[in-house]
Amino acid sequence: MQRAVATVYAVGMFMTIMDTQIVNVALAPLGRQFSATPAQVQWVVTGYLLSIAVSIPASGWLGDRFGTTRVFLVTVALFTVASALCAASGSLTELVGTRVLQGFGGGLMLPVGTTMLYRAYPQDQRVKLARTITAVTVIAPATAPIIGGILLTTLSWHWIFLVNVPFGIFAFCFGFAFLPRKDAFHRHPFDTTGFVLAGAGLAGVMYGLGEGAASSWGSPATWAPLIAGSALLAAFTRHSLRARHALLRLRLFQDRLFRSCCVIVGISTSSFFGPLVFIALYLQEGRGVSALTSGLTIFPEAVAIGLSSQLVSRLYPRVGPRRLMTAGFLGLTVVDGLLTFAGGGTSLWLVRALTFALGVSVSYVMLPTQAAAFARMSAADTGHAAAIFTALQRTASAFAIAVLTAVLAIGGDHQVRAPLHAFPAVFAVTAGMSLLGAVYALRIHDRDAESTMVRSKPGVPVTADPDRERLVGP
């Protein structure tokens, strides 16, 4: 059963993360296809991200009310059908609408799948679990530009959506056949107020960040939704702390380890995915290489993750998350610092070596974070914790891209194409983020994650600790 859950989750996660990245490669061809301006075609991305933001807060309640397996299979089916509809779109309006539908499926799939996965594996196997999650999380965005470049070069834009269909069909059929069914936990009433406040708040913040990155930070279209979204999220926080059956149990932040891991994942997402995106921009806009060459130059990062995660998973029970995370952040700081010296004559092989080192470093951060984050969560709290964790990852990614885009625009004097001299400032900022992460990682207490650091023998079950069954109230 565990392998079935891991297989279906990995396929679903790879599909949704790759889709997010692969569409970015196709924005220019889509603009030409539908005779649309860059601002208009950007809604293909914005609509998708907004629907994800709206759907994530409801994932914990849905999984607990109807069962994670049922909800996961429905979201896989929704995402797959929406992908086919995206490919069949005859206008930009139709494409944006189907992307919104696709976003609802993708937004629910990740947190519900994470909940299903963590409930299936005992504490002593969380490191293996984290290795799978980390590998998929970083391999998908690294391979997306290569796959997108090949599909756009050899076929057409329709295939960037059709490529999801066989993955989705496999995940649904395999999951329908092998996943467990009876896993509903409660029948609490739906928190409509919390859903409206959280969904609208996250959507407002993500929309404002996207507008700021794409146009101007001084525009009302940027700061108005940012202010409104932040106010709604503040209202949601106050409501959730008072509600008897809150949509998301924000009291989970009372747990020191979960709170620290949420901060760590926010910093690591910013300090890793930011450089990943802007290395591609440095290569394509700064140096004029093709999208395919850029993708192949970044791909060593995925290879590094696959290799280094094996070592990290073995070190974790002996060393603990604190020192591994600190070492990883320091590695990211060094790599980002070296990237500030990359120029027009820098060897592509040196850039590939740096992306490889980037992958090695991030595995020392992300794998321990994934392994330790839910160590003190009961099974009933895992769905809410996964929704919070996913929302933070998505928001941190959008925030990092928006901030780094603003830094790039300032360094390039707001030119249409970013010049080479604008990129060192971007990598300097990510180096600062990484250094901040190293300082914060020192606050992690290994003893909080001791249940995940057990080196169990094959076939010997780990006895559950009854004192950990519920550390935080509903």
What tokens appear for 276 in the block? 């990943």
List alpha helices for 155-247, DSSP H.
Answer: 159-162, 164-178, 192-214, 220-242
Query: 1-187 belongs to which homologous superfamily?
Result: MFS general substrate transporter like domains (1.20.1250.20)
Percent helix, percent strand, percent coil in the chain, to nearest 5:
80, 0, 20
pLDDT per residue of the chain (474 residues) written in tens, 0 to 9 = 677 887 888 888 888 878 777 776 676 677 778 877 666 676 787 788 778 878 888 887 888 788 888 888 999 999 999 999 999 988 888 988 999 899 888 888 888 888 887 777 776 676 776 777 776 766 776 677 778 778 877 888 888 889 889 989 998 998 888 887 666 556 678 888 888 898 888 888 877 876 766 666 677 877 888 889 889 989 988 888 888 887 778 888 888 888 888 899 888 887 777 777 788 778 877 788 776 777 788 878 878 887 888 788 888 888 888 999 999 999 999 999 999 998 888 888 999 999 899 988 988 988 888 888 888 877 777 777 888 887 787 777 777 777 777 777 776 554 445 577 778 888 899 999 999 999 999 988 888 888 777 665 444 444 333 333 333 333
Instruction: Quickly count: other Cβ atoms within 10 Å of residue 76's Cβ.
Output: 31
| Helix axis angle, 126-154 to 92-120, nearest 10° | 160
pTM of the model: 0.76
What tokens appear for 447 in the block? 């003893």
Same fold: 1-187 with 254-453: yes
Q: Are 444 and 260 in contact (CB under 8 A)?
A: yes
Instruction: Quickly count: other Cβ atoms within 10 Å of residue 282's Cβ.
Output: 28
* CB < 8 Å & 24+ apart, contacts of 416-425: 417/285, 418/281, 418/282, 418/285, 418/286, 419/286, 420/282, 420/286, 420/287, 420/343, 420/344, 422/286, 423/278, 423/281, 423/282, 423/286, 423/339, 423/340, 423/342, 424/339, 424/340, 424/341, 424/342
Domains in the chain: boundaries: 1-187, 191-246, 254-453
Distance CA 187, CA 182 (A): 14
309: closest CA among 359, 372, 374, 373? 359
254-453 classified as CATH 3.40.980.10: no
